[in-house]
Amino acid sequence: MSPQSAQSEPPPHAPLAGVIGWPIAQSRSPLLHRHWLDRYGLSGHYVPLPVRPEHLAASLRALPKLGFVGANVTIPHKEAVLTVADIVTDRAALIGAANTLIFRDDGTIHADNTDGYGFIANLEQNAPDWLPDLGPAAVIGAGGAARAVVASLLESGVSELRIANRTRIRADQIKAEFGARVVVYDWAQAGNMLEGANTVVNATSMGMVGQPPLRVLLDALSPDALVTDLVYAPLMTEFLRNAQDRGCHVVDGLGMLLHQAVPGFERWFGRRPEVDEAARQAVL
Ligand code: ATR
């Protein structure tokens, strides 16, 4: 081997990945990825990466040079990261946010959004009889997480997607971008959109520890509806408990957090990880 080729050979090293946010200490992603790395005996590291907003672009450009193969992105960078990435998938562009980055060998940054995948995979795993196209879906909230849910439900074949948000203009914007199947309801009338709904989603942060509970009139909610909450702390929100009391099948939001991590882990560390009770316990 010539000195030249010895120099250009990449040194063998364990893949590095992490989660970029500010603050980042609260993120449960490192617990999950470490659990999977240990469980499958893979070499690799997944670390929390505290990055201030003003340092986002420089930090992203540096990571591939430091041996990182990719990263997850969380609050407050999920939108801004699109302006730094070299390639943005269609779904990340439509949602307006990315949560999973792949650093390619040529140094380019590829941005994707796996939240919608995680949302649907969670329902498929925990409500195997659920069929998205059996009736209208009702989504409460119109923030970044709601946009991923809307995209995935429409992709799954939902014929009508009803949405209500405290700040109505964000819901109107979703209708403008996602099209005719979206029907906007007034926040004060959010309970009305549950009439005949097959799928009901809380995509607001209400009900999370430290936040007021989501209180929507459930009189019109059918016991046949599947009800899910993106909030996972607590696992059983007041909203889910009320729906369960009406006889609905309810699915908590932790599974979405676990499933959205699967594509990144597989890509970076080379093995598709399982989402099971052990993975749930790792982050609880
Ligand atoms: P995320 O990325 O988690 O979706 P976000 O974009 O800040 O975060 O969106 C938060 C969602 O929760 C929004 O739908 C927000 O409503 P607004 O668009 O009116 O802000 C909703 N939300 C948060 N606190 C709320 C509250 N106290 N009452 C009603 N809606 C609330």
In short, whether 204's Cβ falls inside 6 Å of ligand 1 is yes
Give SS3 for 69. Answer: strand
The whole-number pLDDT of residue 5 equals: 46
**pLDDT per residue over 84-123, tens digit each?**
999 999 999 999 999 999 999 998 999 999 999 999 999 9
Instruction: Using the atom order of ligand 1, give the atom closest to the CA of residue 167.
Output: 19
**pLDDT per residue over 31-74, tens digit each?**
999 999 999 999 999 999 999 999 999 999 999 999 999 999 99
The whole-number pLDDT of residue 13 equals: 87
In short, whether 145's Cβ falls inside 6 Å of ligand 1 is yes
The whole-number pLDDT of residue 56 equals: 98
Indicate the residue type of 152: S
Pocket test of ligand 1: the residue of 75, 152, 185, 205 to mutate, having most ligand atoms within 8 Å of its CB, is 205
In short, whether 246's Cβ falls inside 6 Å of ligand 1 is no
CA distances, 8 to each of 4, 106, 118, 268 (Å): 7, 14, 39, 22
Instruction: Using the atom order of ligand 1, give the atom closest to the CA of residue 170.
Output: 18
194, with CB counted inside 10 A (0-12, 13-18, 19+), is buried
Summary mean pLDDT of the chain? 95
Ligand 1 centre to CA of 13 (Å) is 42
The whole-number pLDDT of residue 12 equals: 73
Tell me how far the alpha carbon of residue 144 is from its chain's centroid.
9
The whole-number pLDDT of residue 9 equals: 62
Residues involved in catalysis: 78
**What is the secondary structure of 113-141 as a DSSP string?**
--HHHHHHHHHHHH-TT--GGGS-EEEE-
Does the pLDDT value for residue 274 go beyond 60? yes
**pLDDT per residue over 4-20, tens digit each?**
444 556 557 899 999 99
Decide which of 280 and 3 is more confident.
280
The whole-number pLDDT of residue 199 equals: 98
Does the pLDDT value for residue 235 go beyond 70? yes
pLDDT confidence of 157, banded at 50, 70, 90?
very high
The whole-number pLDDT of residue 77 equals: 97
* Distance (Å, whole) CA 67 – CA 249: 44
Give me the residues paired with residue 20 across strands: 49, 73
